Amino acid sequence: MINKISTLGGYIHEYQKSVANPREFWEQIAHEFYWHKKWDKVLDWDFREPRIEWFKNGKLNITENIFERNLFTRGNQPAIIWEPNDPNDQNRILTYNELYREVCKFANVLLSMGIRKGDRVAIYMPMIPELAISMLACARIGAVHSIVFAGFSANSLADRIIDAEAKIVLTSDGAYRGSKTIPIKEIVDEALETCPSVEHVVMVERTREKVAVKAGRDHLWSDLMQSASHENQAVEVDSEDMLFILYTSGSTGKPKGIVHTTGGYMVYAAYTFKNVFQYSDGDVYFCSADIGWITGHSYIIYGPLLNGATSLMFEGIPTYPDGGRYWDIVNKYNVNQFYTAPTAIRALMALGQQFVENKGMPSLKVLGSVGEPINEMAWHWYHDHVGNNRCPIVDTWWQTETGGIAISPLAGIIPTKPSFATLPMPGIQPVIVDHEGKELAGRSVEGILCIKFPWPGMLRTIYGDHERFKQTYFSNYDNLYFSGDGVKRDEDGYYRILGRVDDVINVSGHRMGTAEVENAINAHPLVNESAVVGYPHDIKGQGIFAFVVCGELSTGGEEGIKTSILKAVSKIIGPIAKPDKILLVSGLPKTRSGKIMRRILRKIAEGETASFGDTTTLLDPGVVNEIVSAAQKLK
Ligand code: WTA
């Protein structure tokens, strides 16, 4: 059992221990898990190379740490509670015994299809129990899962399948999302037209709509499971063998395949889950994220299940059938910990009090927030109306790259302050640097957030591109992990995350590279060039503002071209990347060397009309006035 910190003094003590002697600190926690063979060395690292290895030569299987380790005591306890999109449909509750059985069966299915340790498995599924079963079955046989959020387009899915050279795709016929049905299999079929590495597709029947079936390649989940044995011996892997790849957007180029390995990730996800949420046996925990993102990986599946917790998985959306859905789920299952994103809080807040008042929610003990800065107004609404003024809010800062929560209050232990992620988790050594990389020590400083010592959950590389890994995270500042976020440390030593300092924008908690969106817009035949920036958006946190230069307008005029740009972006990336505002301009503000001055565009997108700082390096300063007056006319 992982030790749970229970007092502020206990946190301070643990934190100091983790900094003074990180190897001993993490080794002690790692001993709580089941290993076939223990490691030779706790940690080997060099941020300059870069190389990070935790518990190297330790042999284990993460699913044995979920199942075999728990079955004697918790076999009949719910592992996953699945709430369907439609509240009137049948829910599903899988006990540890039942989930174990399904995972073993599907592990045998994967083996029978020739999938072996190290092979990549792409998963493109809605939030149904088979998604959880699929990922755990991969881990069971040492295969590497690469889950692609089911809101991405066929194009994006194909890019990810090709980059990972996945042999098999696990999917469903369709998906339910609120009142909509999404043709998932159709998207997979389109993607696979360009993916020669894929030999098999396994499809879960969820919506039971008619879909095309390619003989020899496509198989039904239910057919394969019917004849599969439920006995399966877990495959032993090394602590540093890959557990999964998860693609995320960066400031340049195509999405990066973030690689997480087994031992360190396991220890970190489990440790942070238990301590941040202060989970106690018998609690019901509900994280509303999608498993297609890192939050779902670490805090719907691995973190909770490694602790023998009951994790609630929700297929639908917060506004279906009405804006009270989350609160109804909380009451239906007596949820104790609820974890969601600020964008959802703001959207529900905007619907008005009627959906939340009178819900009571006496079971709630802890509220969590993740994915983007939570503004004070949303924080207070969450605290007062959802938590009835009595539940601590854990504002958890972390990233796909960190694997688990890195800066956050421990619920009820570290006093909170609205919009502050407060203090680092044990094992995390944050530093704040200025643009030159000089460390800004002490309190009341603001700069760029870096981390100076490895932690077990951190990424190990970018799949297939170690050089990019080095460039992205370890080349900006010597011997430091660069997070990409701006941060402030206040007079109490508390951290407040200020948002990205690179060309990544955060739209409804989804990370988006501005370059990626620009590339999609530029693919439109009438577009010459474009520049995309983020701007403050009441609900989404940031909205996408696209400045677009067209050669000529088609017959549809301005509106026609805007509509077709939106369509193109949806097709190339997915609907989540559609710009909120498109401004057609005749030119972009560029320096004499041809570099777009995004600083100016960001200001215009924020509504600034006059003060743009130094514009003397602009090739044509007149273009700024033209853009400003066009922007003022935009609704
Ligand atoms: C942002 C999500 C402020 C941040 C787990 C980070 C946050 C990016 C917070 C990672 C928070 C995440 N407060 N900003 N509590 N949590 N972020 O990879 O900019 O999808 O770099 O991981 O989200 O997004 P990702």
For residue 77, which amino acid is it? Q
Q: Where does ligand 1 bind, in terms of residues with CB under 6 Å?
A: 248, 293-295, 370-373, 395-400, 421, 484-485, 497, 499-500, 506, 511
pLDDT digits 0-9 by tens, 312-337:
999 999 999 999 999 999 999 999 99
Sign of CA pseudo-dihedral 604, 610, 616, 620: positive
Helices 129-141 and 96-112: crossing angle in degrees, nearest 10, is: 60
Token output for 131? 């998604």
Is residue 424 helix, strand or coil?
Answer: strand
Residue 552 has a pLDDT of: 74
Q: Which of 369, 370, 414, 481 to mutate to test the pocket of ligand 1 (most atoms within 8 A of CB)?
A: 370
Residue 142 has a pLDDT of: 98
Give the CA-trace dihedral at 348, 354, 357, 363, to 10 degrees.
-50
Which residue owns the Cα nearest ligand 1 atom 1?
372
Strands (E), 31-77: 41-46, 51-56, 59-60
For residue 253, which amino acid is it? G
Distances from the Cα of 170 to the Cα of 125, 202, 226, 291, 573, angstroms: 7, 5, 17, 14, 20
Token output for 309? 């917790």
In the chain, % of residues over pLDDT 90: 92
Mean pLDDT along residues 28-36: 98
CB 340 within 8 A of CB 277: no
Mean pLDDT along residues 377-401: 98
Is residue 571 helix, strand or coil?
Answer: helix
- DSSP class of residue 487 equals E
- The fold of 65-235 is Rossmann fold (3.40.50)
Which residue owns the Cα nearest ligand 1 atom 10?
399
Residue 343 has pLDDT above 80, yes or no: yes
Residue 292 CB contacts under 8 Å (≥ 6 apart), including other chains: 147, 148, 149, 150, 151
User: What is the pTM (predicted TM-score) of this model?
Assistant: 0.96
Residue 160 has pLDDT above 70, yes or no: yes
Residue 554 has pLDDT above 70, yes or no: no
DSSP readout, 150-179?
TTS-HHHHHHHHHHHT-SEEEEES-EEETT
CB 397 within 8 A of CB 405: yes
pLDDT digits 0-9 by tens, 504-515:
999 999 999 999
504-633 belongs to which CATH class? alpha beta
Cα(499) to centroid(ligand 1), Å: 8
In the chain, % of residues over pLDDT 70: 99
Mean pLDDT along residues 480-503: 96
Residue 227 half-sphere exposure, CB side, CA atoms within 13 Å?
5
Residue 72 has a pLDDT of: 83
Q: Which of 399, 448, 487, 508 to mutate to test the pocket of ligand 1 (most atoms within 8 A of CB)?
A: 399
pLDDT bin (cut points 50, 70, 90) of residue 555 is low
Which atom of ligand 1 sits closest to the CA of residue 293? Answer: 20
Residue 610 has a pLDDT of: 85
Domain map of the chain by residue range? 65-235, 504-633
Residue 553 has a pLDDT of: 67
Residue 614 has a pLDDT of: 84
pLDDT digits 0-9 by tens, 272-322:
999 999 999 999 999 999 999 999 999 999 999 999 999 999 999 999 999
pLDDT digits 0-9 by tens, 101-147:
999 999 999 999 999 999 999 999 999 999 999 999 999 999 999 99
Cα(584) to centroid(ligand 1), Å: 31
pLDDT digits 0-9 by tens, 390-434:
999 999 999 999 999 999 999 999 999 999 999 999 999 999 999
For residue 493, which amino acid is it? G
Token output for 347? 């959207």
pLDDT digits 0-9 by tens, 225-268:
999 999 999 999 999 999 999 999 988 778 999 999 999 999 99
Residue 128 has a pLDDT of: 98
